[in-house]
Amino acid sequence: MDGMNSLTLPASPLVQPAYVLPPARFVRAKGWPWTHLLRMRNDPLALMRDGAKHGADVVQLDFGFTPAFVLYSPDAVHRALVPGDAVWKGTRGAKLMRRVLGPGLLTTEGVAWKARRKRAQPRFRSEALKSMPGIVQRHSDQLVERWLADPAHAGVGVDAMAGFSRLALAVVCDVLFGVDPGEDAAVVHQALEQVLSGFLRLMTSPIEGLDQWPLPASRRHRAAVAALDAVVARLIVRRRAAGPLEGDLLADWIVAADAGEMSVEDLHAEVVTMLLAGHETTANAMTFTLALLGSHPAELAAVQAGLDVGDTGPLDRAFAEGLRLYPPAWVMARATSEPLDLGPVTAPAGAFLFIPIAAIQRDPRWWRDADAFVPGRFLDLDPASKAAYMPFGLGPRKCIGEHFARAEARIALATVLRQFDVQAVVPAANPSITLRPLGAVPVRLTPRASAGGQPGRCAHKWAPTS
Ligand code: HEM
């Protein structure tokens, strides 16, 4: 293959190479057959991060019979995602996801996807989201009240992940569906937990379609998918009963289904897709950002000082930096439908492509002080870093909810931070379909009196820091 270079980095910085090698633009990662597929099963984040150590633009992994390429340079990512017509969501993970979500906006292709995007897009325009700030504010005030009522808030701390998950689900249901999830919120959280915890094993199993087998883990997975579908059915019934079918996305879909423009299966797929894609990612991002601020007193003080004078700039930059260090959609995957020129190498048709946003956004080639929490870098991002920043994806399949998520996080975090000083330890990152905190995320809250502290930097590895 042209441009191929199988050199790896010297094992120790003490070993000086006799001459300086040009950067290896394409590397075939070494390992026993199937090694990388196994590692994808056990430690996918480390697999993707270690590939970045080659300093290459594209790294080929051994995934058994299917050629698999990991794209580390913004140029290679751009070539794959921006034209977008030589790739599709045809990996095993994507097929498994389609069996969870059904044929909705996230999982369909071509004309079917275009029609879905066109139908949903108007509800994400700023005019359509005019009532959103009031709704998010109301849910954020309720969150703060619940936290204040919890005696743990000044002691061991409240669980930020649980609080933000509940808030984000309520916001999606309220803004996009015009209903309150009520007790179904707990059903959604439990089912999602089950799907996410088993997903990697099902996806990397040697047997494709293991989720359809009569095995205990597969049964639990299918039961969780069925529970989600039952919630969707109840939400639709509740929305029909709530009043005229106008003014929100769920109403649009129900009207289209009643008119025969959408099947019942499509309606369910759209609702469950938005329900899950629209809340878990945002909850993860808010949680990591709050934990980062809770462990960086000077950055916290800067955010609070901004909020005191009505400037959300420092908060927006802290959220952007949280998304850089812990991107909730941490890896995107595609399959090639035709040969695709990635720059240093051409991927054949039928290859898998991985775009590890989490590794690209910490690659020292594009980021100074890559592992440190430095929100100020977003005041003046240089072009190389800008190209390497993609928490909401790239190209035609870019996230439809980017502005929704940013607006929600701004209001919810501002509500918490205006009122409290926070102390937290950044949790370990747990990779599944999304990158989420491992376990509960205790955050200690004290009514604001003495924000401040010494500026300091610490490296945010993928493990807990103190
Ligand atoms: C911080 C929060 C969020 C992050 C980091 C995020 C990230 C992403 C990324 C990276 C993609 C592209 C996936 C790919 O190309 O494979 C995506 C797609 C998508 N996101 Fe988000 N997202 C967030 C919030 C939201 C919200 C709030 C909603 C809806 C309310 C949403 C709905 C969707 C949908 C439906 C897609 C599929 C779009 C399509 O294929 O046309 N996301 N998201």
User: Does ligand 1 have an atom closer than 6 angstroms to the CB of 172?
Assistant: yes
Quote the pLDDT of residue 458: 53
Residue 270 and residue 253 in contact, taking contact as beta carbons nearer than 8 Å: yes
Q: What is the 105 CA–ligand 1 centroid distance (Å)?
A: 10
User: Does ligand 1 have an atom closer than 6 angstroms to the CB of 405?
Assistant: yes
Per-residue pLDDT of 247-298, as tens digits, reads 999 999 999 999 999 999 999 999 999 999 999 999 999 999 999 999 999 9
Distant-in-sequence, close-in-space partners of 396: CB < 8 Å, separation ≥ 6: 84
Q: Is the dihedral of CA 198, 201, 204, 210 positive or negative?
A: negative
- Tell me what the mean pLDDT of segment 41-55 comes to: 91
What is d(CA 379, CA 382) in angstroms, rounded to the nearest whole number?
A: 10
Residue 157 and residue 444 in contact, taking contact as beta carbons nearer than 8 Å: yes
In a domain, 408, yes or no: yes
296 φ, ψ to 5°? -130, 85
Between the CA of residue 237 and those of 172, 242, 252, 256, what are the distances in Å? 17, 9, 14, 15
Quote the pLDDT of residue 460: 65
Q: What is the 136 CA–ligand 1 centroid distance (Å)?
A: 19
Ligand 1 atom with the shortest distance to the CA of 333: 16
Quote the pLDDT of residue 451: 38
In a domain, 201, yes or no: yes
The whole-chain average pLDDT of the chain stands at: 90
Select the more confidently predicted residue: 428 or 449. 428
User: Does ligand 1 have an atom closer than 6 angstroms to the CB of 273?
Assistant: yes
Number of domains composing the chain? 1
Per-residue pLDDT of 133-184, as tens digits, reads 999 999 999 999 999 999 999 999 999 999 999 999 999 999 999 999 999 9
User: Does ligand 1 have an atom closer than 6 angstroms to the CB of 360?
Assistant: no
Going by pLDDT thresholds of 50, 70 and 90, the confidence category of residue 207 is: confident
CATH number at residue 246: 1.10.630.10
| pLDDT of 462 over the 80 cut | no
User: Does ligand 1 have an atom closer than 6 angstroms to the CB of 285?
Assistant: yes
User: Does ligand 1 have an atom closer than 6 angstroms to the CB of 274?
Assistant: yes
In a domain, 465, yes or no: no
Q: How far is CA 108 from the centre of its chain?
A: 19
- Tell me what the mean pLDDT of segment 19-35 comes to: 72
Ligand 1 atom with the shortest distance to the CA of 176: 30
| pLDDT of 422 over the 90 cut | yes
In a domain, 367, yes or no: no
Share of the chain above pLDDT 70, in %: 91
259 φ, ψ to 5°? -85, 0
Q: What is the 219 CA–ligand 1 centroid distance (Å)?
A: 28
| pLDDT of 14 over the 50 cut | no
Locus of tokens 């609070």: 304
User: Does ligand 1 have an atom closer than 6 angstroms to the CB of 448?
Assistant: no
Q: What is the 168 CA–ligand 1 centroid distance (Å)?
A: 14
289 φ, ψ to 5°? -65, -45
In a domain, 243, yes or no: yes
| pLDDT of 405 over the 90 cut | yes
Q: Which domain holds residue 425?
A: 103-326+394-447
In a domain, 227, yes or no: yes
Between the CA of residue 14 and those of 17, 76, 147, 161, what are the distances in Å? 9, 32, 51, 43
| pLDDT of 6 over the 60 cut | no
Residue 312 and residue 464 in contact, taking contact as beta carbons nearer than 8 Å: no
Helix 264-277 vs helix 249-258: crossing angle, to nearest 10: 170
Q: What 3-state class would DSSP assign to 110?
A: helix
Quote the pLDDT of residue 302: 98
| Residue to mutate, 164, 169, 281, ligand 1, most ligand atoms under 8 Å from C-beta | 281
Ligand 1 atom with the shortest distance to the CA of 355: 16
Tokens standing for 55? 């300093």
Q: Residue whose CA is closest, atom 29 of ligand 1?
A: 278
| pLDDT of 21 over the 60 cut | no
Radius of gyration in angstroms for the set of CA atoms belonging to the chain, rounded to a whole number? 22
Select the more confidently predicted residue: 183 or 7. 183
Q: What is the 330 CA–ligand 1 centroid distance (Å)?
A: 11
Bridge partner list, 443: 158, 424
Residue 292 and residue 321 in contact, taking contact as beta carbons nearer than 8 Å: yes
| pLDDT of 45 over the 80 cut | yes
Quote the pLDDT of residue 4: 32
∠ CA 384-77-386, rounded to 5°: 25
In a domain, 219, yes or no: yes
What is d(CA 252, CA 243) in angstroms, rounded to the nearest whole number?
A: 13
Q: What is the 420 CA–ligand 1 centroid distance (Å)?
A: 30
| pLDDT of 73 over the 80 cut | yes
Tokens standing for 128? 């359509």
Q: Is the dihedral of CA 399, 401, 406, 412 positive or negative?
A: negative
Going by pLDDT thresholds of 50, 70 and 90, the confidence category of residue 19 is: very low
Per-residue pLDDT of 94-147, as tens digits, reads 999 999 999 999 999 999 999 999 999 999 999 999 999 999 999 999 999 999
In a domain, 410, yes or no: yes
The amino acid at residue 329 is A
| Residue to mutate, 399, 402, 413, ligand 1, most ligand atoms under 8 Å from C-beta | 399
Ligand 1 atom with the shortest distance to the CA of 398: 12
| pLDDT of 428 over the 60 cut | yes
Ligand 1 atom with the shortest distance to the CA of 357: 10
Q: pTM for the full model?
A: 0.92
| pLDDT of 34 over the 50 cut | yes
User: What is the 8-class DSSP label of residue 4?
Assistant: B
The amino acid at residue 247 is G
Share of the chain above pLDDT 90, in %: 79
Pairing of strands 352-355, 340-341: unpaired
Quote the pLDDT of residue 361: 98
Going by pLDDT thresholds of 50, 70 and 90, the confidence category of residue 2 is: very low
Going by pLDDT thresholds of 50, 70 and 90, the confidence category of residue 202 is: confident
306 φ, ψ to 5°? -60, -50
Ligand 1 atom with the shortest distance to the CA of 409: 1
Tokens standing for 113? 């996807």
Per-residue pLDDT of 338-350, as tens digits, reads 999 999 999 999 9
Q: What 3-state class would DSSP assign to 330?
A: coil
Q: What is the 215 CA–ligand 1 centroid distance (Å)?
A: 31
What is d(CA 58, CA 52) in angstroms, rounded to the nearest whole number?
A: 9
Q: What is the 9 CA–ligand 1 centroid distance (Å)?
A: 35
Residue 29 and residue 5 in contact, taking contact as beta carbons nearer than 8 Å: no
